[in-house]
Amino acid sequence: QVQLLESGGGLVQAGDSLRLSCAASGRTFSNYAMGWFRQAPGKEREFVATISRGGSSTNYADSVKGRFTISRDNAKNTVYLQMNSLKPEDTAVYYCAAKTGLASTYGVEYDYWGQGIQVTVSS
């Protein structure tokens, strides 16, 4: 029902910024809470940020709080992750995900996942 496609990743230096975008197909995008997750090499997938269906409520992992901002534009069927002050430890494959109902920090509760996009931060 929903296809997600991430874009905007790449290789940057520590302290730089990136904005990830996740474009969603379907006509019911506004009915889905959205989340960003990431997985670093050799580590488990971890929660990064979530946003409610209307965009009024957000939640962030402690490791990115104050540096990352999640937002969405329901008219464009797109969710964003603005990443500022990037650190080498932010290096990971970043995934956007969608779920019905309320947002969740648990990846297993999400219904749809994007392919993932690489973010590499050099020191």
CA distance 16 to 14: 6
Residue 28's pLDDT band (cuts 50, 70, 90): confident
Write phi, then psi, for 90 (nearest 5 degrees): -80, -10
Portion of the chain with pLDDT greater than 70, in percent: 100
Asked if residue 1 has pLDDT above 90, the reply is: no
Q: What is the pLDDT of residues 47-99, one digit of tens each?
A: 999 999 999 999 999 999 999 999 999 999 999 999 999 999 999 999 999 99
Average pLDDT, the chain: 96
Rg (alpha carbons) of the chain, rounded to whole number: 13
Structure tokens at 71: 């937002």
- For the stretch 31-67, what's the b/e string if a residue is b when 16 or more beta carbons lie within 10 angstroms of its beta carbon? ebbbbbbbeeeeeebebbbbbebebeeebbbeebeee
* CA–CA separation, 7 and 22 (whole Å): 6
pLDDT above 90: residue 114: yes
What percentage of the chain carries pLDDT values higher than 90? 95
pLDDT at 27: 80
